[in-house]
A = this chain, B = another copy of it.
């Protein structure tokens, strides 16, 4: 949730006139996206999302993100399509910051996904991995295993303020995950942030993925690990094996999961839990007074991590 940038009337008019998208009918800041300022821009032709990239998104990464959406949309993958201006550019500047316009995707995000939603998620995630496999730009996962220790060092001491002993437990877990992190799994473009917020459904049919601003090159199965954590736990913290089975089974109907990927899944799920635990911990301990964003509970991800530590094989995820 974020609308950080003030835009003057003249700036907005000049910006929109650089595109062949019609005349402005409405322009409203929307409560979506923690990293950027997002606006719903309605013209007399269509609806668009206008995004202003705030400082948490590196400007050098924008050609990757916008190029990826272009690439995926070309392959009929359901995602926002960058709108190019009259000169052919998808990236412009607005109010002194990088900005882009993308097509508006219909659909609503689901707060309480069912097993059917999870199945659709799995199938579409496999399609994403396949459609992205020939995308030529590369972007390392800046929030993968190598980043976790530096991230943790900033919050180690204060972690115990959330739960006594948390700091030491996380340190041990981090060391263990670092030592066992795989190096040679199938990899390519992943979304890396597929929370229910970022998946739209129209009448319970998946209509698209949004918010590609964490997309990067990493193990495909890491995306599945993120989704296991974000989609397959109930509000009471319990793991829903039916949802996991639905998601993974639908995924592998589109793209085979190799035995090595399957064997690595519990560890990657712990890693994915640790990644969100650490960024949430950082945001929790660095709250800005008056900030527009309410931080999320880091301990939710510590509890998810515990679950995966107890997993001994794929049957825990509903697979043989």
A interface, CB within 8 angstroms of B: 1, 3, 6-10, 12, 23-32, 40, 42, 104, 106-108, 110-112, 202-203, 287, 289-292, 294-295
Cβ A289 vs Cβ B289 within 8 A:
yes
Chain B: CB-nearest residue to A6: B111
Complex CA gap A29/B42 in Å reads 16
A8: contacting residue among B104, B112, B294, B295, CB under 8 A:
B112
A23-B203, A25-B202 known; 5 new pairs, CB 8 Å cut-off, are: A12-B108, A24-B108, A25-B106, A28-B40, A29-B30
* Closest chain B CB from A10 CB (angstroms): 8
Cβ B31 vs Cβ A28 within 8 A:
yes
* A31 with B9, Cβ < 8 A, contacts A26-B107, A40-B40, A289-B287 known: no
Contacts of A29 in B (CB 8 A): 1, 30-32
Cβ B42 vs Cβ A106 within 8 A:
yes
Chain B: CB-nearest residue to A200: B26
* A106 with B32, Cβ < 8 A, contacts A6-B111, A287-B290 known: no
Cβ A30 vs Cβ B40 within 8 A:
yes
Contacts of A8 in B (CB 8 A): 111-112
Chain B: CB-nearest residue to A39: B31
Complex CA gap A86/B203 in Å reads 22
Contacts of A3 in B (CB 8 A): 1, 31
Contacts of A27 in B (CB 8 A): 108
A-B contact pairs, 18 of them (CB 8 A): A1-B3, A6-B111, A7-B111, A8-B111, A9-B111, A9-B112, A10-B112, A12-B108, A23-B203, A25-B106, A26-B107, A27-B108, A28-B30, A30-B30, A30-B40, A40-B40, A287-B289, A287-B290
